[in-house]
Amino acid sequence: MTDRQDLNEQETPIEKVAAPVAPVPSYTVLNNEQYVLKPAGFWVRFWAYLLDLLVISSITSIVIYPLFRIFGWDVQGTTWYAPIGFVTGFIFYLYFVLMMKFFKQTVGKMVFGLRVIGLKEESMSLSTILFREWIGRFFSATILPLYWVIGFTPKKQGLHDFIADTMVIHEQTYEKKIITTYQPVSESSQLHQPKAF
């Protein structure tokens, strides 16, 4: 019986089905180099912000506190609605708005070579500056993790940058990005075309 099974197995032809093979498409790989402004990261922006706080503290210590003492007003209030808290808070936001309006940088950003640019508009309008520096900075300063977002976003944007569609960049530093694109090559372009003279 085993002989018959062997014979049957040998007699049965094995059909080899050749699957149609699709032509492998050819691609041309194009690598384009592009230089883009480098976004400023969390730490350099943090040090610039600390320098700005030092400038604001100097302004309030040299101008505001002496005026309050001259007029005999209370400088010991610790709440934001105390007169000294309200005025120093107003100076804090006014500093950022005026520096951004006239210089596009604060003193801290100037020292560290940073600049704020708009993503949608060439020069920032007053409404964009107010949204970024007043409303956005209020949320970022009040809820600190919103400021820490800078370290984790691709363009290093904080909440105040997202609100105003802005980005902080290094002034004279560029990143080299290589953009790879694949273009299919048609059969007609693969044929050799004879060159005349």
Q: Per residue in 4-39, pLDDT tens?
A: 555 555 555 555 555 565 555 577 778 888 888 899
Find the angle CA(46)-CA(86)-CA(101) to the nearest 5 degrees: 55
Q: What pLDDT does residue 42 have? A: 92
| CA–CA gap between residue 35 and residue 173 (Å, rounded) | 10
> Which tens digit of pLDDT belongs to each residue from 101-160?
999 899 999 999 999 998 888 788 888 898 888 888 888 778 878 788 888 998 999 888
Find where tokens 């950022």 sit. Answer: 96
For the stretch 30-74, pLDDT in tens is: 888 888 889 999 999 999 999 999 999 999 999 988 888 888 887
Q: Kindly give, in sequence order, each residue whose CB lies less than 8 Å from that of residue 115, ignoring residues fewer than 6 positions away.
A: 104, 105, 109, 168, 169, 171
CB 68 within 8 A of CB 83: yes
Please tell me the distance from the alpha carbon of residue 69 to that of residue 117, in angstroms, as a whole number.
Answer: 40
Residue 184 pLDDT class (50, 70, 90 cuts): confident
> Helices H, strands E: what count in the chain?
10, 3
Q: Which residue would you say has higher pLDDT here, 79 or 163?
A: 163
**Residues in CB range of 153: below 8 A, 6 or more apart:** none
**Facing residues of 31 across strands?**
180
Q: Is 89's pLDDT higher than 80? A: yes
Q: What is the pLDDT of residue 23?
A: 59
Q: Edge-to-edge strand order for the sheet containing 166-185?
A: 26-39, 166-185, 114-118
pLDDT in tens, 95-113: 999 999 999 899 999 999 9
Locate 186 and state its tokens.
Answer: 């048609």
Q: What are phi and psi of 68, to 5 degrees?
A: -65, -35
The model's pTM is: 0.70
Q: How far, in Å, CA of 49 to CA of 57, rounded? A: 12
Residues in the chain: 197
Radius of gyration of the chain (CA): 33
Q: 42-59 and 83-103 are packed helices; what angle lies between their axes, rounded to 10 degrees?
A: 120
